[in-house]
Amino acid sequence: MNKITIIRPDDWHLHLRDEGYMQAVLPDTARRFARAIVMPNLKPPVTTTALALQYRDRIRAALPPDSSFEPLMTLYLTDNTQPAEIIKARQSGAVYAIKYYPAGATTNSDLGVTDLGKCRGVLEAMEACAMPLLVHGEVTDPAVDIYDRERVFLERVLAPLIERYSRLRVVAEHITTREAVDFVSAAPLRVAATITAHHLLLNRNALFAGGIRPHHYCLPVLKREQHRQALTAAAISGSPKFFLGTDSAPHAQHTKETGCGCAGIYTAHAGIELYAEAFDQAGALDRLEGFASHYGADFYGLPRNQDRITLVRESWPVPDKLPYARDSLVPFRASGHVAWKIE
Ligand code: DOR
Ligand code: ZN
């Protein structure tokens, strides 16, 4: 197959940042995706519906004039989030999920949740109004090896959470391990997962290929090949529990190429093309549409998109860097090629 037409996809996990940085990256996503779930880990974080509505206005104002891209907003859960805020979020019609970062787990997560026990009322309110909880699934216990943090999170946090809140809808975001695939597969239908293109295309060797590769550093960190294979099997399985979330996470070049570099990989410039590559490599291009354009919308109870995009097998070069407001951004595959192109 050298060409494939699919319903326009959505990105169910995206970092857009703010101001000039947002203006620099937004067109890449808006050109490919109809909608995106926009992550709330700004500085300061998007913790209230009022802040989410203001952020949505800034995103809309930055869109190209002919764009019909729709940002789907999220709130950042803290120890102090109140149940009334969840109700407000639901009533706004603009907020589609609540993001749970364990405090300290990743970029701008310092104000995240220290103990889910503090969020009981909020989680009950979310169950009552069917507001999904999006989970960054890694424990922060420094005694746990970084490659085991997702697996341990499943046992210590996620299993008890879905057991205790028997109606809560949960998305395990950017899963990276065979154990997470197995967990989500065995869980009730109200539990789903997003998978990034970079976790489908790379294993942890990519972090150390001939030297340290800061532009392949993200969280959860890349894992062994057997895990990449398990993620691929899940993505192409046709199970509606697994859907597309790029986790495209731009950071200025100088903040990644430094003594203590930021976590995040920028993939929005080839946001659907990279998935086409991964599915093609697995001989499963016919499964791309379900994963990219059906299952996420179905999980969120939203209509599937109406229009279509066509991808062609045509290699194109990726620049060594992209403009990023006053800085530069090194995209995934910088100075290399992407094998699929939007027609
Ligand atoms: O690699 C990542 N980058 N993982 C995250 O969880 C956060 C994200 C970011 O915001 O940069
Ligand atoms: Zn993310």
Sequence-ordered list of residues with C-beta below 8 angstroms from that of 97, at least 6 positions apart, any chain? 37, 72, 74, 75, 131, 132, 133, 134, 171, 300
pLDDT confidence of residue 107: 82
Which among 105, 243, 230, 239 has a CA at the least distance from the CA of 177? 230
What tens digit of pLDDT does each residue of 188-220 get? 999 999 999 999 999 999 999 999 999 999 999
pLDDT confidence of residue 320: 98
Pairing of strands 322-324, 327-329: antiparallel
Helix (H, G, I), strand (E, B) or coil at 24: helix
Give 219 Cα–ligand 1 centroid separation in angstroms: 6
Is the C-beta atom of 15 inside 6 A of ligand 1?
A: yes
Helix (H, G, I), strand (E, B) or coil at 269: helix
Alpha helix stretches (DSSP H) within 33-119: 49-62, 83-92
Relative to the alpha carbon of 74, which ligand is closest? Answer: 2
Arithmetic mean of pLDDT, 227-246: 99
pLDDT confidence of residue 105: 85
According to DSSP, residue 205 is labeled: G
> Could you give the percent of the chain with pLDDT greater than 90?
98
Does residue 179 have a pLDDT over 90?
yes
Is the C-beta atom of 136 inside 6 A of ligand 1?
A: yes
pLDDT confidence of residue 106: 85
Catalytic site includes residue 247: yes
Sequence-ordered list of residues with C-beta below 8 angstroms from that of 128, at least 6 positions apart, any chain? none
Distance CA 131, CA 133 (A): 7
Pairing of strands 11-14, 35-38: parallel
For the chain, how far is it from start to end, CA to CA, in angstroms? 15
Residue type, 186: A
pLDDT confidence of residue 137: 98
pLDDT confidence of residue 229: 98
pLDDT confidence of residue 277: 98
What tens digit of pLDDT does each residue of 75-115 get? 999 999 999 999 999 999 999 999 999 998 888 888 999 99
CB 196 within 8 A of CB 267: yes
According to DSSP, residue 155 is labeled: I
Cβ burial, residue 61 (10 Å; 0-12/13-18/19+)? exposed
Q: Which residues surround ligand 2, an ion (CB under 5 A)?
A: 247
Sign of torsion over alpha carbons 98, 153, 240, 129: negative
Closest Cα to atom 2, ligand 1: which residue?
A: 264
Residue 220 Cα: closest atom of ligand 1:
4
Mutate to test the pocket of ligand 1, among 25, 41, 221 (most ligand atoms within 8 A of CB): 41
Mean pLDDT, the chain, integer: 98
Does residue 13 have a pLDDT over 90?
yes
CATH placement of domain 3-342: 3.20.20.140
Is the C-beta atom of 248 inside 6 A of ligand 1?
A: no
DSSP β-bridge partners for residue 311: 4, 342
Distance CA 241, CA 187 (A): 10
Is the C-beta atom of 106 inside 6 A of ligand 1?
A: yes
What pTM does this model have? 0.98
Pairing of strands 133-135, 11-14: unpaired
What tens digit of pLDDT does each residue of 240-250 get? 999 999 999 99
Residue type, 21: Y
Helix (H, G, I), strand (E, B) or coil at 88: helix
pLDDT confidence of residue 174: 98
Is the C-beta atom of 176 inside 6 A of ligand 1?
A: no
What tens digit of pLDDT does each residue of 298-311 get? 999 999 999 999 99
Residue 218 Cα: closest atom of ligand 1:
1
Arithmetic mean of pLDDT, 287-314: 98
Element (H, E) at 159: helix 159-164
Catalytic residue among 11, 28, 247, 280: 247
Helix (H, G, I), strand (E, B) or coil at 199: helix
